């Protein structure tokens, strides 16, 4: 299932997923299980994929650009990855840029033996740590922030690998869910705030870790539990698991945008169906921003559950006013604006017979730069819609993310430059409304947002960042993606 924003184009007008990680230990076909699990997580990263396995003696790695099926669909490819333990990663570049050298899992030979690491998230003090390590003689093989963790482990003076691992993470700021393959077993952990997701399951005696529960479903694993924020789980080669909690307990701040867009709708997060939450966002949106209309039309695929909720609450009929072709690949850079527009039209087309002459409520998950929304609104008008009202299933995205989501710099976010009325004019909609931040919190099961101690990381909406942003502290104010010192 591909949940990339359907109108993605060269303008970068979408919030790209972070990454997806999957690991299994104690399985005879470990690499094949990982490949299947990564296929279920393909929506989280479509730029590159990698798998590293361990057979008790040697480590084996295979990495490639493109999708899982392009790199791991053959038996020959999986035969290169023997062993009962393996970890994998699907990637959309956030820190480090594209290129094969940044494809994970990253591998290094440490004093304690081989070590492979797959990382979902972003280290917000990676550049500061990297400069210090380079001054001490470290030689980096990639530009990925994940490699900083490997060097911190290598230079730690603690005697055991687990102690070195924890020592390294104590120096790290930001967001991470990590799956590591070592000669003694697998290590999985989640940052103390739990910003990025990670779950644990079992297939018989084999232990599985994944970014989302849907990957457990696909490989036939039983869900055990979420990895707790700040928890480090060691799984030995015999399958025995030990839980460690080396960090001080703090109120968790899981990413709320997982519920809005990033996770697959058939996943479960914090005991809540993502699909149900998205429908409830639509319900809240209908309560907060009703409008006289004839049809509720989702922007497929990510707008569908919220549109269903909006239609059910408002009583306005739900219709598929935009039809998506599933046989067109992603829209890459084209030689002209006309070619880009033609590519969009090949991927999606207005259902003219449904929308002509109707007052339309368009439901989408977010507005980033606004150019995509403008094209969608124009598509409806070209198909004969009498009115086009846009409703967005998230609050205005006015701040950049520094925790593993590839958002544009703040100066390019439409909501950072305009109020809602001006945004409506920009996209040429008859009206525009976003769900409120409290409405979003109600949809995920909270009474309201606790401003003193938010229950989620919602910095992309509020500017309330839950960690220090060390790498930005020495950046000149003119180059910052948000005002200096703005953390609330």
Distance CA 211, CA 118 (A): 11
Same domain, 293 and 234: no
Residue 10 lies in a domain: no
Q: Which residues pair with 186 in a beta bridge?
A: 181, 235
Residue 333 sits in the same domain as residue 429: yes
CA atoms within 13 A on the CB side of 414: 24
Whether residues 28 and 133 share a domain: the answer is yes
The answer to whether 466 and 458 have CB atoms below 8 angstroms apart is no
* Spatial CA neighbour of 116 closest among 61, 42, 68: 61
Number of compact structural domains in the chain: 2
Predicted confidence (pLDDT) per residue in 407-466, tens digit: 778 989 999 999 999 999 999 999 999 999 999 999 999 999 999 999 999 999 999 999
Q: CA–CA separation, 193 vs 247, rounded Å? A: 10
Same domain, 76 and 152: yes
- Calpha distance 71→76 (Å, rounded): 10
Q: What is the DSSP letter of 407?
A: P
CATH number of the domain bearing residue 433: 3.40.50.2020
Task: Report in angstroms the alpha-carbon separations of 147 from 118, 273, 458.
Answer: 10, 34, 27
What span, in angstroms and rounded, lies between the C-alpha atoms of 297 and 344? 18
Whether residue 222 is found in the same domain as residue 344: no
Domain end call among 254, 286, 312: 254
pLDDT reported for residue 14: 62
Same domain? For 318 and 458 the reply is: yes
What does the alpha-carbon distance between residue 418 and residue 50 come to, in Å, rounded to a whole number?
Answer: 41
Indicate whether 139 and 178 sit together in one domain: yes
173 lies in some domain: yes
Residue 76 maps to a domain: yes
Q: pLDDT per residue over 382-394, tens digit each?
A: 999 999 999 999 9
Task: Check if 19 is active-site.
Answer: yes
For helices 274-288 and 304-314, give the axis angle rounded to 10 degrees: 50
Does any domain span residue 417?
Answer: yes
In a domain, 9, yes or no: no
Residues 36 and 150 in one domain: yes
Query: Which residue matches tokens 């009206």?
Result: 431
Residue 231 covered by a domain:
yes
Whether residue 129 is contained in a domain is answered as yes
CB 368 within 8 A of CB 399: no
Give CA–CA dist 178/162, Å, rounded.
13
Could you list the residue range(s) of the whole structural domain that residue 282 is in?
278-462
What is the value of pTM for the model shown? 0.90
Q: Which of 19, 180, 189, 401 is catalytic?
A: 19
> Does 483 map to a domain?
no
User: Could you give the CA distance from residue 77 to residue 72 in angstroms, rounded to a whole number?
Assistant: 6
**Do residues 29 and 152 share a domain?**
yes
CATH value at residue 182: 3.60.20.10
Statement to judge: residues 247 and 310 lie in one domain: no
How far apart CA 213 and CA 217 sit, in angstroms, is 6
List, for the chain, all residue ranges whose pLDDT scores fall below the cut of 50.
1-11, 330-341, 477-488
Which residues lie below 8 Å from residue 283, measured CB to CB, with a gap of 6+? 309, 310, 312, 313, 443
Give the model's pLDDT for residue 328.
59
Structure tokens at 307: 């549109």
- The answer to whether residues 176 and 288 belong to one domain is no
Residues 250, 295: one domain?
A: no
Q: Which residues pair with 296 in a beta bridge?
A: 318, 361
């Amino acid at each position: 299932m591909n949940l990339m924003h359907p109108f993605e184009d060269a303008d970068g007008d979408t919030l790209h997923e972070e990454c997806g990680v999957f690991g299994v230990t104690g399985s005879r076909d470990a690499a094949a299980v990982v490949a299947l699990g990564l296929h279920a997580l393909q929506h989280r990263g479509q730029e590159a994929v990698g798998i590293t396995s361990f057979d008790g003696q040697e480590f084996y790695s295979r990495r490639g650009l493109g999708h899982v099926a392009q790199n791991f669909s053959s038996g020959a490819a999986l035969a290169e990855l023997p062993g009962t333990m393996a970890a994998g990663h699907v990637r959309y570049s956030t820190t480090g840029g594209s290129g094969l050298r940044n494809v994970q899992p990253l591998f290094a030979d440490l004093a304690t033996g081989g070590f492979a690491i797959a990382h979902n998230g972003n280290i917000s003090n990676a550049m500061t740590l990297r400069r210090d390590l380079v001054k001490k003689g470290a030689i980096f093989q990639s530009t990925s922030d994940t490699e900083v963790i490997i060097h911190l482990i290598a230079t730690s003076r603690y005697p055991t690998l687990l102690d070195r691992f924890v020592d390294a993470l104590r120096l790290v700021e930001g967001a991470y869910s990590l799956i590591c393959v070592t000669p003694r077993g697998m290590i999985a952990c989640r940052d103390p705030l739990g910003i990025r997701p990670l779950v644990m399951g079992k297939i018989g005696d084999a232990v599985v870790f994944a970014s989302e529960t849907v990957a457990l479903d696909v490989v036939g694993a039983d869900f055990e539990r979420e990895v707790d924020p700040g928890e480090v789980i060691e799984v030995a080669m015999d399958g025995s698991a030990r839980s460690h909690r080396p960090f001080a307990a703090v109120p968790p701040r899981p990413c709320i945008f997982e519920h809005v867009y990033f996770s697959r709708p058939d996943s479960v997060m914090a005991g809540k169906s993502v699909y149900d939450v998205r429908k409830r966002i639509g319900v809240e949106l209908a309560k907060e921003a009703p409008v006289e209309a004839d049809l509720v039309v989702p922007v497929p695929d990510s707008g569908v559950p919220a549109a269903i909720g909006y239609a059910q609450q408002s009583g306005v009929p739900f219709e598929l006013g935009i039809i998506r072709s599933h046989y067109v690949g992603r829209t890459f850079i084209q030689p002209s604006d006309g070619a880009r527009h033609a590519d969009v039209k090949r991927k999606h087309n207005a259902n003219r017979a449904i929308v002509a002459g109707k007052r339309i409520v368009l439901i989408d998950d977010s507005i980033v730069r606004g150019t995509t929304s403008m094209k969608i609104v124009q598509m409806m008008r070209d198909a004969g819609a009498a009115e086009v009202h846009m409703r967005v299933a998230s609050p205005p995205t006015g701040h950049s993310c520094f925790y593993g989501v590839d958002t544009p710099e703040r100066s390019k976010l439409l909501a950072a430059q305009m109020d809602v009325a001006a945004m409506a004019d920009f996209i040429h909609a008859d009206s525009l409304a976003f769900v409120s931040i409290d409405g979003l919190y109600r949809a995920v099961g909270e009474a309201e947002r606790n401003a003193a101690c938010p229950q989620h990381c919602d910095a992309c909406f509020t500017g309330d960042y839950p960690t220090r942003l060390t790498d930005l502290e020495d950046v000149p104010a003119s180059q910052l993606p948000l005002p200096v010192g703005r953390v609330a």
